[in-house]
Amino acid sequence: MPASVAPGATITIKNSDSQAHTVTSKEGGFDVKVDPQGTATMKAPTKPGSYKFVCSFHANMTGTLVVK
């Protein structure tokens, strides 16, 4: 995932792992599942900010999406 994205940008997420993962944010309103070795796309939030996300399958997998 890029360090920051423009508001409303389309983001492509690649999963190079052998397990499915998600990019899930409660406050950002996104929740995308990415299949093993697969890609998925999502729209960035339209409001600038830092959006924490987690993998809903693996609670220890976290990150932050910066929209600016």
Residues near Cu ion (CB under 5 A)? 21, 55, 57-58, 61
Q: How far is the CB of 51 from Cu ion (least distance, A)?
A: 17
Residue closer to Cu ion (CB basis): 26 or 57: 57
Kind of pairing between the strands at 62-67 and 4-5:
parallel
CB of 67 to Cu ion, least distance (A): 22
Nearer of residues 21 and 28 to Cu ion, judged by Cβ: 21
